[in-house]
Amino acid sequence: MSNVTVFDHPLIQHKLTIIRQKNVGTKEFREIVDEIASLMAYEVTRDLPMTDITIETPVQETTQKTLAGKKLAIVPILRAGLGMVDGIMKLIPAARIGHIGMYRDEETLEPVEYFVKLPEDIDQREVLLVDPMLATGGSADMAIDALKKRGAKKIKLITLVSAPEGVEAVQKAHPDVEIFTASIDDHLNADGYIVPGLGDAGDRLFGTH
Ligand code: PRP
Ligand code: URA
141 an active-site residue?
A: no
Look at residue 1 and tell me whether its pLDDT is greater than 60.
Answer: no
Q: At 159, phi and psi to the nearest 5? A: -130, 160
Q: Is the preceding peptide bond at 111 cis, omega within 30 degrees of 0?
A: no
Confidence bin at 2 (pLDDT 50/70/90)? low
104 an active-site residue?
A: yes
Confidence bin at 19 (pLDDT 50/70/90)? very high
176 an active-site residue?
A: no
CA distances from 114 to 81, 148, 181, 190 (A): 15, 17, 25, 25
Identify the pLDDT of residue 163.
98
What is the end-to-end Cα distance of the chain in Å, rounded?
36
Dihedral angle sign, alpha carbons of residues 50, 1, 196, 191: positive
Identify the pLDDT of residue 56.
98
* Per annotation, catalytic residue among 66, 108, 121, 208: 108
Report the mean per-residue pLDDT for the chain: 96
CA distances from 192 to 37, 143, 169, 201 (A): 24, 18, 14, 13
For 100-126, what is the mean pLDDT?
95
Distance 10 CA to ligand 1 centre (A): 26
Closest CA to 95 of 134, 121, 65: 121
Q: Which atom of ligand 2 is nearest to the CA of 193?
A: 6
- The answer to whether the CB of 134 falls within 8 A of the CB of 170 is yes
Q: Which residues contact 69 (CB under 8 A, 6 or more apart)?
A: 51
Side-chain-facing half-sphere of 76: CA atoms under 13 Å: 19
For 75-84, what is the mean pLDDT?
98
Query: What is the spatial distance between Cα 144 and Cα 151, in angstroms, rounded to a whole number?
Result: 11
Look at residue 144 and tell me whether its pLDDT is greater than 60.
Answer: yes
Q: Is the pTM of this model over 0.85?
A: yes
Look at residue 106 and tell me whether its pLDDT is greater than 90.
Answer: no
- The answer to whether the CB of 119 falls within 8 A of the CB of 73 is yes
Q: Which atom of ligand 1 is nearest to the CA of 137?
A: 12
Confidence bin at 145 (pLDDT 50/70/90)? very high
Query: What is the spatial distance between Cα 84 and Cα 15, in angstroms, rounded to a whole number?
Result: 14
186 an active-site residue?
A: no
Q: Is 111 in the pocket of ligand 1 (CB under 6 A)?
A: yes
For residue 35, count other CB atoms closer than 10 A to its CB. Answer: 17
